[in-house]
Structure 1
Amino acid sequence: MAKQQTFGDKAKKKKETATKTIKLVYSTRSEKTGGWRFAEKYVTLPKDQDENAALAEAMK
């Protein structure tokens, strides 16, 4: 039996969204050891919003 749906068909069905997701990686000093720690977050924004202002707010 042959496949009914190909990967190309699945990729074409993806709808355009009005948001974008950005991976935010930032560093902080550890209070215990004084070493650098890295944290990461995924931030979802509307496509028309300024990234720099939103990312500065997300790091707080």
Structure 2
Amino acid sequence: MEHPTLMRVPGPPPVMFEERILPLAPEAYQVSQAGAWCVVTVMATGEEVYRGPGPVEVLRSRAPF
């Protein structure tokens, strides 16, 4: 079993947040601000994987699945 990388973003009400699985290790991503938006990019390639409202977290899942 594997502990995947998760990206937590704000969810639609009444959900507090939504989790999305990302393919790389958490260390491979950078979270930054671009004006009013949070941006998540892959550090090695600069590929943008998220641009939207924050706060945003990229973390390793505590549970394997």
TM over 0.5: no
Rg bigger for which structure? 1
Structure having the larger proportion of residues in strand: 2
TM-score w.r.t. structure 2 length? 0.30
Structure having the larger proportion of residues in helix: 1
Larger RCO, structure (CA 8 Å, separation 6 or more) = 2
